[in-house]
Chains A and B, each alone.
Chain A
C-alpha cells in the first residue's frame, strides 16, 4: 500500500443510510486506506415542504414544521413561531416563554444522550449504547407527562403554549433532575473517561478554527473547534434573557482544543449538565400569568390574515442554529413564502474537510460526529480500478472494520 502514488479509487457511500437525516450519497476518493477527498450529494429526502406551505395558513404550517425532523421537532416549531410573531408583532406572555424554554432544554437533553449512545455503538462500545438508551427513557417519560407524546409534541402555538406545567409535572421534572445528577455520572465515567475511547477518537476528523469560521459551522461542531458561539448567549430569546448561559468550549475543561471527534463528544456531554441547571433555574423562577396571547383561534386567524411583513426566527437547537424566514401578506390567509435552514445542512459543508487524511474505517465516526440525527451507513461499493473487480461491502462489514480498529488499538 503505497500512499502518494497518485492512484485514487472513488468509493460511493449511501444513499440508503438507515436512519440518517437524509440518505446522503458521499463519494470518497481513496488511496489505499486513506481518504484523499470527498464529495457529498444530498437530496434524497427533499419532500418539497416549503412549496407545500403556500396553500396553508400559519396554524396548519406549525404541524408541517414539526415533521421536518423527528429529533429536534420542538426546535423547528419554536423558530417558526418566533418568525411569525416577528412578522405580525405579537407579544408572548412571560409564563409561556418559560415553559417553552423548559421544553427546549428537555429536548436538548434527549437529543444529546441519543447521540452519545449511537456514537459509542459506532466504534464498538455496545454496553455504553444500551446504558445511554436506558438513561434516556427517563426524559422521554417527563416529556410525555408534560406534552402528551414522546416525539412530535405539538405544544407551541402562535402567541404562547398550549399546555401548562401542573404540580404533578413539576414533581416529575424535579425527580428527573435528581436522577440524572446521580446516574449520569456513570455514563460520563464509562464513555468520556475511558482511555480506549480517548485513543480511538483523538485526532480523528479534525476541523481547524479558521475552517470552522469560513465554512459557517454551527453548534457543537463549532464549539468543539474552540469558537465561543451560542445564540442563547449572543442574542438571548425567551427565558434566556433572565439567565446567564455561557458557551461550553473544551479549552475551559481540558486546557487545550484539538477540534476532533473527542472534543465534540465532550462538548455534548457537558451540555447535558448545563441543561439540567437551566431547567432547575427556570422552575424556580416560573412566573404566573396567561398561557396564550389570544386563546380563541378564529380571532387569532383573522388577526394574522391582515398582518403584513417579513419575520426571522433563529434559535439554538441541539445541532446548531435553526433559522426560519416567513413572509405574510395583508389580506391573504395563507403564508406567501417560507424558508427553512436546518443546522445539519450548514455543518455538512465541512464534511469534506474533516474526511481528509483519515482512514476509511473512520468514515462512519466522522459522519456521525456532526450529528446528522442517527447515522448508520448502509452499503459501500469498493471498485478496484486496476483489477477491474467490484466488491460490495455491507453496513455490517463496514461497522465491523470500525470496531476492529478499536480492538487493534487496545492491543488485542
Chain B
C-alpha cells in the first residue's frame, strides 16, 4: 500500500463511494458503518455528511492506510470510555478538508480493546500530530501504544500516582478519597 504524501487532494469522493470501497475490502472486520446527514440554514437542506465505523483491532492499521490513499487523513481527537470488559477508543478524523465547499467527510472509527490486553498500534509514524492524544489516552485509560517515542505524563502533575487512571470506572479509577469537594 503506497504511503500518502503530506498534501490535500482537490477532488473529493462521495461518502457512499468511500463506504462501498471499504465494505468491499474489509467485509467482516468492519463491524458497522453508518452515514449521518446534517442540515442547516433557512432552507433546511443537507449540507455535509459524516461516517461512523466500527472495526476490529487487527485490521485497524490496514483501514487507516486504505483511507490515506483517498486523501491525507487529518486527525482531530481520540475519545474513549471504559465499557465493562473492554475499553472503547474512538478516533475522530476528517477527509477532504481542503477540496470543495461542503465536501468534508467526518469519520469516527471505534475500536474495542480488551482489558486483559490493553495494547494498540501507534499512528505516530504516519501522523506526528497524534502525540498528545495518545499520551492522554495512556494516562487516563491505561492503553499502551506501541511505537510512540515519548510516553510521559502530559496533563497530570509529576507526582501523580500512575496506578490511578482517572477515567476508569473499575478499581483502577479514582477512589472517593482522591476527589476533593471545594465548597
Direct A/B contact, Cβ within 8 angstroms: yes
Partner of B42, one of A43, A233, A242, A321: A242
Chain B, 61-85, CB within 8 A of any chain A CB: 72, 74-77, 79-81
Interface mask (B50-66 → A, CB under 8 Å = 1, otherwise 0): 10100000000000000
Chain B residues whose C-beta falls within 8 Å of the C-beta of A86 in the assembled complex: 36, 38
Cβ-defined contact, A48 with B103, below 8 A: no
Given contacts A241-B41, A341-B76, A345-B132, contact A229 B81 (CB under 8 A): no
Contacts of B104 in A (CB 8 A): 231, 234-235
The answer for the CA separation of A48 and B77 in the assembled complex, in Å, is 17
Interface size class of A (residues with CB under 8 A): 35 or more
- The interface residues of chain A lying within 8 Å CB-to-CB of B102 are 234-236
Q: How far is the CB of B61 from chain A (nearest CB, A)?
A: 17
B129 CB → nearest A CB, Å: 3
Q: Which of B6, B97, B153, B167 has the most CB of A within 10 A?
A: B97
Main secondary structure of the interface of A (DSSP, over half): mixed
**Residue of B6, B43, B50, B108 with most chain A CB atoms under a 10 A cut-off:** B6
Q: Which of B80, B90, B129, B166 has the most CB of A within 10 A?
A: B129
- Whether a CB of chain B sits under 8 angstroms from the CB of A42 is yes
Mark A232-268 against chain B: 1 for CB-CB distance below 8 A, else 0.
0111111111101000000000000000000000000
A227, B6: Cα distance in complex, Å: 12
Query: With A and B bound together, what is the CA distance between A349 and B47 in angstroms?
Result: 31
Number of interface residues of B (CB under 8 A): 51
What are the interface flags for A338-366 relative to B under an 8 Å C-beta threshold, 1 for contact and 0 otherwise? Answer: 01010001101100000000000000000
A314 at the interface (CB under 8 A from B): yes
Q: Which of B72, B98, B103, B157 has the most A CB atoms < 10 Å from its CB?
A: B98
Cross-chain contact A227 with B76 (CB below 8 angstroms): no
Q: Does B145 contact A (CB under 8 A)?
A: no
Residues of B within 8 A of A240 (CB): 40
Q: Which of A46, A51, A210, A213 has the most CB of B within 10 A?
A: A213
- Sample of 8 further A-B pairs with CB below 8 A, known A337-B81, A349-B128: A46-B157, A215-B128, A229-B98, A236-B102, A287-B42, A312-B50, A312-B108, A325-B79
Interface residues of A, Cβ cutoff 8 Å to B: 41-43, 46, 48, 50-51, 86, 94, 97, 209-210, 213-216, 227-229, 231, 233-242, 244, 285, 287, 310, 312, 314, 321, 323, 325, 327, 336-337, 339, 341, 345-346, 348-349
